[in-house]
Amino acid sequence: MAVVEWKKDGTVAVLTMNTSENRHNPSYASGMLSCLDEIEADQDIKSIVLASVDRKNWSLGIDLNWMMDAVNRGAGDEIRAFMYSLNTLFKKILTIPMPVIAAINGHAFGDGAIIACTCDFRFMRSDRGFFCFPEVDINIPFLPGMLAMVKKAIPYYKVEELVFTGKRATGKELEECHAVVKACEGEEELMKEAMAFARTFAKGRVIFREHKWRLNRHIVEIMDREDPAYIDPLNLMVS
């Protein structure tokens, strides 16, 4: 089974992350980018639902086992290439000319929560799964572009709470601050609601691309302008 795969359901592309924790590593980034390119090439598709095959975890973020192996091997160039490929993935989601809807059926932690913020809309289970930024507890600061993506999706007062405390937020809590469109009871209801919402979109790609670019251009510019100062010297952690 591929790390990531997609299927067409009418005008909706269901993009599914297929591993137990959906950790982000080079295979994940390249798989996501390849699928998104294929989806964009299909002119019949009007929206994307990003789902997980694992019922416990939507995505737990960076693959720390892969990262530490690369560190131990002194493979700095591999780490840099991976971090830039993640930014390429984020930019793709931010600018692809259709809505990307996260169907969060389990835990979304760290970079997994960030990719959820990169999406245009989020649905989440009310009965299972937490949304969390644990970076403050493991001494890994956000890149500037990551913070910009978080602020796009979550009200600033809630961003401060989540980033500074590392607390675990529920779907219902995020629904109350409108970071999540709807908190759904159970996985079946989650996918039903996310797919129904996705099917409401039949917008032209030209206008959708332009709106997404105008709304998100500052995030792309922050990634291009500010992130290299931390990625190039591998200044990704604090002591």
DSSP track, 143-177: PHHHHHHHHHHS-HHHHHHHHHH-PEEPHHHHHHT
pLDDT band at 220 (very low <50, low <70, confident <90, very high): very high
Q: Which domain holds residue 167?
A: 4-198
What does the DSSP 8-state code read for residue 24? B
**Count of domains observed in the chain:** 1
CA distances to 13, 67, 79, 191 from 62, rounded to whole Å, are: 25, 8, 11, 25
Which CATH number does the domain housing residue 155 bear?
3.90.226.10
Task: Answer yes or no: is 221 within a domain.
Answer: no
pLDDT, tens only, 40-79: 999 999 999 999 999 899 999 999 999 999 999 999 999 9
Instruction: Assess whether pLDDT exceeds 90 at residue 194.
Output: yes
Backbone angles phi, psi at 199, to 5 degrees: -75, -10
Task: Answer yes or no: is 165 within a domain.
Answer: yes
Task: Answer yes or no: is 206 within a domain.
Answer: no
| Whole-structure pTM value | 0.96
